[in-house]
Structure 1
Amino acid sequence: MRLTFVLLLLAGIVFACEAPVEFEQPQPVNQRDLNKIPKRLRGVYISTKDSSYLIIDGKKMISRMEVRFEGHKDSIDLDLDSIGLGINKKNIVMMEKDNAKFTFQLKGDLVFGTYLHSDTIFEISTRHKIRKFKGHYFLNYQHSIDNWKVNKLSLEKSLLTISKISFPKDLENLKEITEVEEVRSDKGKVMAYKLDPTRAELKKLLDRNFKKINSYQKIGGASSVSE
């Protein structure tokens, strides 16, 4: 496997894309913030679509992805000889950058490597709020004043589903439920859509507009996650 391919995996990590639909307030409005992530959500999960993991404890959520690869030294798009000072007595090279760690081990002309990426994607704070509504949990991320990204968490048995309102293919459908403000650039291009739904309108959005972006199967309970 070529290293360039491994690097491209970074672009596909869950939660990396910004939602084009923004909210003026954390959701649901007039609902109290939880000071801890509920115990029923805590644990270790594996994605149903790739090799990434989701680790949830009482305060935060961490996304982890590990990829192992191997190949001939000449097939790796990295000049290992040029960083020879980083090779220890066991012929192991380790590099870390932007929450990602690369480990390479040389065995003759072969290279065995591991790519590990770990990122805290949610941590309860004044800018990260979690609220409960109608059996679902809402993760609110503040980007700026009056600008919140909102994801919905739903747990059915051991399957955790994360969903959001994506760029509306049917804008009129969205406008039937709540008022939609178009956020435009200086050149007039629509950059995002901003919503400020009431609780009643949010309930309708739950049924019609939140779409799944990922799902995770629980493989470890809360006892396997430290506070």
Structure 2
Amino acid sequence: MKQFILLVIFLFVISCKKADAPADESFVYFEKPQPIYDAELSKIPNKFRGLFINSDSVYLNISENMISKEFTRKFRIHKTEIDSLKKEFDFVNGKYVSKGYKVVFDFIKIGDSLELSNKEIDTIFIFSNTQKAKRFNGKLILNYSDSIYWTVNTIDLEKNLLHLKSIGSKEDLKKIDSLTHLKSVQIDSFRFVVKPSRNEFKTFINLKRFHVDEAFKKI
């Protein structure tokens, strides 16, 4: 049981780290925020605001100034294993806190078991010098800077279905290279800089399939 609890906590921590750093996995980089020459937004348009949920019960919360993902992970422990729980957790202010990773869990009693739950809020966009948004061709374009180059996510909303797409995979790179007059330039083992024109970028983001395309339904 101890090994199970430690594994659960470890998976919680790893999944949170992955959620916090999507841009690190990107192959596609831009020299400037996209699309070029379009004005930057100072707030997210009303059209895109609201609370959305996907098939994995992950919430996407879009407000005037920020976009965040909210998700809750749960696991149960039978009352006969409570002693194992006490060895791996401190009980602080009515919550269980893992001793190693300091992950905080709420709990409720369900029959002969305790259900522990951990709610995570992952901010995926907030206006700043390194995170800029533009509205283009009916979509919300989110730009993220690594201090030199930029990565891009897009959001489009049709009726009550929202798609959050990440431009960054090798497949995405091949697609954009097939559309642009100037081909990508490799700057290291994992990064390729692309320079699409405004019209080329428009054609690219209107493609139906991206490697990462998350669908959310408005609540």
In the alignment, which residue of structure 2 is the partner of 1:167? 169
Q: What does 1:147-226 correspond to in 2, within 5 Å?
A: 147-169=149-171, 173-178=175-180, 179-184=183-188, 190-208=189-207, 211=210, 212-219=212-219
In the alignment, which residue of structure 2 is the partner of 1:133? 136
C-alpha distance after superposition, 1:86-127 (max 9, x if no partner): 356xxx433389996322457897432111111211011221
RMSD between aligned residues: 3.3
CA contact (8 A) 1:45 1:216 kept: yes
CA contact (8 A) 2:95 2:104 kept: no
In the alignment, which residue of structure 2 is the partner of 1:124? 127
In the alignment, which residue of structure 2 is the partner of 1:111? 114
Which deviates further from its counterpart, 27-36 or 175-184? 175-184
CA gap of 1:109–1:87, structure 2 versus 1, over 3 A, is farther
In the alignment, which residue of structure 2 is the partner of 1:222? none
Q: What does 1:66-145 correspond to in 2, within 5 Å?
A: 66-72=72-78, 79-81=85-87, 83-84=89-90, 86=91, 92-95=94-97, 101-104=104-107, 110-145=113-148
TM-score, normalised with respect to structure 1: 0.76
- Superposition deviation, residue 163 in structure 1: 1.3
CA contact (8 A) 2:61 2:67 kept: yes
Distance 2:34 2:151 in 1: 9
C-alpha distance after superposition, 1:130-177 (max 9, x if no partner): 1011111100111112x1110011000011101133323386543232
Distance 1:120 1:170 in 2: 24
TM-score, normalised with respect to structure 2: 0.79
CA contact (8 A) 1:101 1:117 kept: no
Q: What does 1:10-25 correspond to in 2, within 5 Å?
A: 11=15, 16-18=21-23, 19-25=26-32
- Superposition deviation, residue 181 in structure 1: 0.9
The structure richer in helix per residue is: 2
C-alpha distance after superposition, 1:40-63 (max 9, x if no partner): 111111113x12111111000111
Gaps of 5+ in 2: none
Aligned residue type for 1:42:
R
Gaps of 5+ in 1: 185-189, 220-227
Report percent identity of matched pairs: 30
CA gap of 1:75–1:8, structure 2 versus 1, over 3 A, is farther
SS in structure 2 opposite 1:169?
helix
Aligned residue type for 1:215:
A
